[in-house]
C-alpha cells in the first residue's frame, strides 16, 4: 500500500503506461507490413530482409528479461528514461539510414531501448496498483492486443501514402510519453544487489541461438542452444545469486502458469501470423482490406480487457484463466469450422478467440504476481515476457513450415470447408488441442490448492 501512495496521479500513470505500450506494440507490427518495401528498396532476398524482424525480436526478447532483472534493483524512472531515449535515437537513426546495414543497426538500437517497455509495463501494476492489479493488468493487456490489430493498418497506410522510412519517424514519437511517465512515477532509490552478468550472457546465448534457429531454419544452431543451456544450468548451481534463480522453476505453480500462458500465446500469435496470409492467399484480399477484416477482433480484445481485469480482482485469477482458455479453445473450433465461408463471417468468428488475448495475459500475470517473492518479481515476470516473444517466433516458424509442406483438400474437421482453406482449418483444430493440453496441465497442478490459491490477495485488499 505504501508504494501505491507514492504515485501522485495513478490515472495519469496508467494512461502513460497504456500509451507507451500502444506505440511499442504498433512499432513491431507496422514493420511486418513494410518488409516487402524494404526488400524492394535495397533489392534484397527474403532471407536477407528477414533480419529486419529477426534481429529486432532476438534483441527484444533478451532485453525484456534483462530489464526485468534490473527492475529489481534500479528505479523505474531511471530505466524508462534510458530505454525510451535509446529507442527514440534508434528510430531517428533509421529514418535517416542510407543503406540496409544502417536500417538493421537502427532496428537493433530500437530493440535495446524498446525491450524495457513490456518488462516495466507489466511490472508497474504489480508495484503501484496492488488494490486494482487485475484491472490494470487487464487494461494493459487489452491495449497490447488492440495495438497488434491496429499496427498493420497504420503501417500499411503510412508506408502506402508516404514511405516505409516514415515508420521510423512515427516510432520516434514514443518519446512524448517520457515526461508524463517521469512525472507520475514515484521517486525511488537504487537497491543493493548482485547482478550475474555471466549468467545473463549465457541466457542471451540460449535465446539468440534458439530464435535464430527457429526463424532462419538453421538446425545446427540448436546444438549451441543446448550448450548454452547446459552452461547456464551449471552457472545457476555454481553461484549463490544467479541471473535466474533456479528455485523459480521448482515451484509447480510458477511452472504450470508460464507453461499454460506460453501455450496460449503460441496459439494467439500463431493465429495473428496466419490470418493475414490466409486472407491474402485463400481469399485474395489486399493489405488494407485484411486490416479492416481483422479490426473487429482487435477491438473486441480492447473492450474485453478492462472487464476481464475486473473479473480477476472479483472472481480470482484462476477463474479468469479457465474462462480465457475456454473462450480460446471454443474460438479455434469455430474458426476451424467456418474458415472458407465469407470473410465477414470469419471476421465475426475471430472475435471469440481474439477477445481472450487480454484475459490470458492479465490472469497469468496476476497469478505470477501472487507466486513470486517481492525481490524476484522483476526476473520472474521477465521470464514471462521472454517466453511470450519466443512463442511468437516459434509459432510463426512452425506455421510457415506447415503452410509450405501441407496442402490438403479435405479438413480433419468434418464440418469444415473443403478446398484451399482446409490447411488453415486443420491448424485451428490443432490450436484447440494445444489449448486443451494447457488447460489440463494447469488443472492438474492447481487442483488440490486451487480454491485457497485463487483467493490469495494482498493484505490491503
Mean pLDDT by 10 residues, the chain (461 residues): 57 87 82 77 76 80 83 86 94 92 92 87 82 82 80 77 87 90 83 80 86 77 92 87 81 88 88 82 78 82 76 82 92 93 91 86 86 78 80 76 78 85 91 94 68 40 33
- Can you name the CATH fold of 251-461? Growth Hormone; Chain: A; (1.20.1250)
Alpha-carbon distance 378 to 384, whole Å? 10
CA separation (Å) from 128 to 13, 131, 356, 372, 424?
9, 9, 25, 16, 43
pLDDT at 6: 62
Strand (E) positions, 36-101?
A: none
Q: What is the CA radius of gyration of the chain?
A: 21
* Ramachandran region, residue 79 (left: φ > 0; alpha: ψ -120 to 50; beta: rest): alpha
Rounded to a whole number, what is the largest CA-CA distance in the chain?
62
pLDDT at 356: 86
Q: Do 1-194 and 251-461 share a fold? A: yes
Domain extent listing, the chain: 1-194, 196-242, 251-461
Spell out the alpha helix ranges (H) of 96-132: 100-114, 116-128
pLDDT at 451: 43
pLDDT at 333: 94
Q: Give which of 416, 60, 429 is closest to 215, Cα–Cα.
A: 60
pLDDT at 5: 43
Strand (E) positions, 215-255?
A: none
pLDDT at 446: 64
Kindly report the pTM of this predicted structure. Answer: 0.78
What grid cell was written down for 281? 492467399
Alpha-carbon distance 279 to 317, whole Å? 35
Q: Give which of 334, 329, 336, 310 is closest to 408, Cα–Cα.
A: 336
Alpha-carbon distance 352 to 200, whole Å? 39
pLDDT at 106: 94
Determine contact, residues 327/353, Cβ cutoff 8 Å: yes
Alpha-carbon distance 86 to 110, whole Å? 7
Q: Give which of 361, 395, 354 is closest to 381, Cα–Cα.
A: 361
Determine contact, residues 432/411, Cβ cutoff 8 Å: no
**Is the domain 1-194 a CATH 1.20.1250.20 member?**
yes
Amino acid at each position: 500500500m505504501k508504494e501505491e501512495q507514492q504515485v501522485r496521479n495513478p490515472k495519469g500513470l496508467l494512461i502513460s503506461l497504456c500509451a507507451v505500450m500502444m506505440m511499442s506494440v504498433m512499432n513491431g507490427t507496422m514493420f511486418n507490413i513494410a518488409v516487402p518495401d524494404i526488400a524492394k528498396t535495397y533489392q534484397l532476398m527474403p532471407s536477407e530482409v528477414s533480419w529486419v524482424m529477426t534481429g529486432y525480436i532476438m534483441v527484444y526478447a533478451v532485453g525484456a528479461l534483462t530489464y526485468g532483472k534490473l527492475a529489481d534493483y534500479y528505479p523505474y524512472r531511471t530505466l524508462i528514461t534510458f530505454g525510451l531515449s535509446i529507442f527514440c535515437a534508434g528510430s531517428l537513426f533509421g529514418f535517416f539510414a542510407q543503406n540496409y546495414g544502417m536500417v538493421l543497426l537502427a532496428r537493433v538500437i530500437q530493440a535495446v531501448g524498446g525491450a524495457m517497455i513490456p518488462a516495466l509495463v507489466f511490472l508497474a501494476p504489480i508495484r503501484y496498483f496492488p488494490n486494482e492489479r487485475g484491472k490494470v493488468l487487464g487494461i494493459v493487456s487489452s491495449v497490447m492486443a488492440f495495438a497488434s490489430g491496429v499496427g498493420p493498418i497504420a503501417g500499411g497506410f503510412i508506408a502506402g501514402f508516404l514511405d516505409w522510412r516514415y515508420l521510423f519517424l512515427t516510432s520516434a514519437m514514443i518519446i512524448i510519453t517520457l515526461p508524463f511517465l517521469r512525472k507520475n512515477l514515484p521517486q525511488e532509490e537504487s537497491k543493493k544487489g548482485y547482478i550475474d552478468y555471466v549468467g545473463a550472457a549465457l541466457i542471451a546465448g540460449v535465446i539468440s541461438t534458439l530464435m535464430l534457429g527457429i526463424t532462419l531454419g538453421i538446425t545446427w544452431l540448436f546444438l549451441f542452444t543446448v550448450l548454452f543451456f547446459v552452461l547456464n544450468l551449471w552457472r545457476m548451481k555454481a553461484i549463490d545469486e544467479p541471473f535466474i534463480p533456479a528455485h523459480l522453476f521448482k515451484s509447480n505453480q510458477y511452472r504450470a502458469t508460464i507453461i499454460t500462458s506460453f501455450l496460449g500465446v503460441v496459439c494467439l500469435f500463431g493465429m495473428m501470423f496466419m490470418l493475414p496470409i490466409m486472407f491474402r492467399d485463400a481469399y485474395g484480399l489486399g493489405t488494407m482490406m485484411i486490416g479492416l477484416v481483422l479490426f473487429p477482433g482487435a477491438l473486441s480484445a480492447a473492450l474485453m480487457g478492462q472487464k476481464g481485469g475486473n473479473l480477476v480482482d472479483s472472481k480470482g485469477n484462476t477463474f479468469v484463466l479457465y474462462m480465457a482458455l475456454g473462450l480460446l479453445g471454443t474460438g479455434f473450433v469455430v474458426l476451424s469450422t467456418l474458415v472458407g465461408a465469407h470473410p465477414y463471417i470469419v471476421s465475426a468468428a475471430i472475435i471469440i478467440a481474439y477477445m481472450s488475448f487480454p484475459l490470458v495475459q492479465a490472469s497469468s500475470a496476476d497469478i505470477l504476481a501472487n507466486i513470486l517473492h517481492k525481490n524476484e518479481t522483476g526476473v520472474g515476470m521477465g521470464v514471462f515476457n521472454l517466453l511470450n516473444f519466443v512463442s511468437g517466433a516459434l509459432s510463426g516458424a512452425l506455421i510457415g513450415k506447415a503452410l509450405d509442406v501441407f496442402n490438403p483438400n479435405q479438413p480433419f474437421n468434418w464440418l469444415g470447408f473443403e478446398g484451399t482453406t482446409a490447411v488453415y482449418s486443420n491448424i485451428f483444430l490443432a490450436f484447440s488441442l494445444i489449448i486443451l493440453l494447457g488447460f489440463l496441465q494447469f488443472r492438474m497442478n492447481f487442483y488440490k490448492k486451487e480454491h485457497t490459491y485463487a483467493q490469495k490477495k494482498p493484505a490491503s485488499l
